[in-house]
Chains A and B, each alone.
Chain A
Amino acid sequence: MADSDDEYIGSSGDERGKRASNSRKQKGAGDAGKERWEEIQRSWDNVVEGADGSISAAVVGLLEQNKRKRLLKDTTPLQRGIIRHLVLVLDLSIAMEEKDFRPTRFLLQLSHACDFIKEYFEQNPISQLCVIGMCDGLAKRISDMSGNPVEHISAIRKLRANGVEPKGSPSLQNALDMARGCLWNSPTHGTKEVLIVFGALHTCDPGDIHMTIKAMVQDKIEVRIVGLAAQVAVCSELVKKTNSGSLAGYGVAMDEKHFRDLLMANTTPPPTRQANTNASTLLTMGFPSRFSNPGHPTLCACHSNPITSGYMCPRCMARVCALPTSCPACSLTLILSTHLARSYHHLFPLANWVEVARHDVKKRSPKLCFSCERPFPKLAALPPSSTVAATGDLATKRTSNAPVPGVKAVPSISSTGRYACLDCGKWFCVDCDIFCHEEVYNCPGCEADPEGKEKRQREKEALAAKETAQTGQSSAAQGDAMEIDG
Chain B
Amino acid sequence: MDRVDATEHFAQHAQGDLPSLLVLIIDINPIPWTTNPLSTALPFNTALSNLLLFLNAHLAFSHTNKVAVIAAAAPRGGGAKILYPAAELPTDTKGRPQSRPPQPAPQPGEPNKYRPFKDLEEGVLAGLGKVLASVNEEDDGTDRTVVSETRIAGALTLALAYINRLAGAGADNLGQTLTKGTGTTEAGTMQSRILVVSVAGDVASEYVPVMNCVFAAQKKHIPIDVCKVAGNSVFLQQAADATGGVYMKLDAPNGFLQYLMMAYLPDPAARQHLVLPTQANVDFRAACFCHKKVVDVGYVCSICLSIFCTVPPDNICMTCQTKLAHTVGGMVVRKKKKKKAGTATGSGAGTPTVGTPRP
Contact = CB atoms under 8 A, between A and B. Distances in A.
Interface of A: 60, 63-64, 67, 75-79, 82-83, 187-190, 277-290, 292, 314-315, 331-332, 336-338, 340-345, 347-351, 367-368, 371-378, 405-406, 417, 422-423, 429-432, 435-436, 439-444, 446-453, 455, 457
Contacts of B142: 451, 455
A78 B341 contact: yes
A337 B306 CA distance: 10
Contact of A290 (B82, B90, B208, B284): B284
B285 A375 contact: no
A82 B155 contact: no
B209 A442 contact: yes
A350 B320 CA distance: 18
B297 A338 contact: no
A481 B33 CA distance: 30
Nearest to A337: B286
Nearest to B154: A448
A450 B151 contact: yes
Given A75-B346, A348-B344, A442-B213, A450 B208 contact: no
B315 A431 contact: no
A429 B346 contact: no
A338 B298 contact: no
A130 B324 CA distance: 27
Given A447-B209, A450-B151, A82 B305 contact: yes
Contacts of A447: 80, 151, 153-154, 157, 206, 209, 348
A79 B341 contact: yes
Interface of B: 75-76, 79-82, 87-90, 98, 140, 142, 151, 153-155, 157-158, 160-162, 164-165, 168, 177-178, 180-181, 183, 206-209, 211-216, 219-220, 238, 242, 280-286, 295-305, 307-308, 311-312, 315, 317, 320, 322-330, 332, 335-336, 338, 341-342, 344-351, 354, 357
Q: Taking each of A340, A348, A374, A449, which has the highest tally of chain B beta carbons within 10 Å of its own beta carbon?
A: A348
Nearest to A439: B216
Given A348-B208, A444-B158, A452-B79, A79 B180 contact: no
B281 to A, nearest CB: 6
Contacts of A189: 302, 332
B275 to A, nearest CB: 13
A422 B348 CA distance: 11
A344 B348 CA distance: 11
Closest 7 pairs (CB-CB, A-B) = A448-B154, A314-B296, A337-B286, A63-B181, A447-B154, A449-B79, A371-B161
Contact of A371 (B153, B157, B324): B157
A37 to B, nearest CB: 26
B103 to A, nearest CB: 19
B28 to A, nearest CB: 13
B302 A283 contact: yes
A377 B180 contact: yes
Contact of B161 (A338, A372, A405, A446): A372
8 contacts: A280-B302, A282-B311, A285-B299, A287-B286, A340-B307, A378-B90, A431-B164, A447-B348
Contacts, number: 268
Contacts of B216: 439-441
A280 B347 contact: no
Given A348-B351, A376-B90, A446-B349, A440 B160 contact: yes
A77 B346 contact: yes
B346 A288 contact: no
Given A350-B348, A377-B180, A283 B327 contact: yes
A440 B213 contact: yes
Contacts of A188: 332, 335
A284 B297 contact: yes
A77 B327 CA distance: 26
B293 to A, nearest CB: 12
B305 A344 contact: yes
A194 B345 CA distance: 31
A337 B357 contact: yes
A448 B164 contact: no
Given A349-B346, A443-B348, A450-B75, A281 B219 contact: no
Nearest to A443: B348
B180 A374 contact: yes
Q: Taking each of A77, A315, A367, which has the highest tally of chain B beta carbons within 10 Å of its own beta carbon?
A: A77
Given A341-B208, A431-B180, A457-B349, 13 more contacts: A279-B332, A279-B336, A282-B312, A282-B317, A286-B297, A287-B285, A314-B297, A341-B207, A350-B347, A367-B98, A368-B89, A443-B348, A447-B80
Nearest to A326: B330
Q: Taking each of A67, A189, A432, A447, which has the highest tally of chain B beta carbons within 10 Å of its own beta carbon?
A: A447
A345 B288 CA distance: 19
A282 B286 contact: no
Nearest to A285: B300
B346 A440 contact: no
Contacts of A373: 82, 87-88, 162
Nearest to A434: B164
Contacts of A187: 327, 330, 332
Q: Taking each of B180, B282, B283, B345, which has the highest tally of chain A beta carbons within 10 Å of its own beta carbon?
A: B180
A69 to B, nearest CB: 13
Contacts of A341: 207-208, 211, 215
B189 to A, nearest CB: 15
A348 B319 CA distance: 12
B307 A286 contact: no
Contacts of A372: 161-162, 164-165
Contacts of A64: 181
Q: Taking each of B303, B329, B344, which has the highest tally of chain A beta carbons within 10 Å of its own beta carbon?
A: B303
Given A187-B332, A285-B297, A347-B304, A338 B153 contact: no
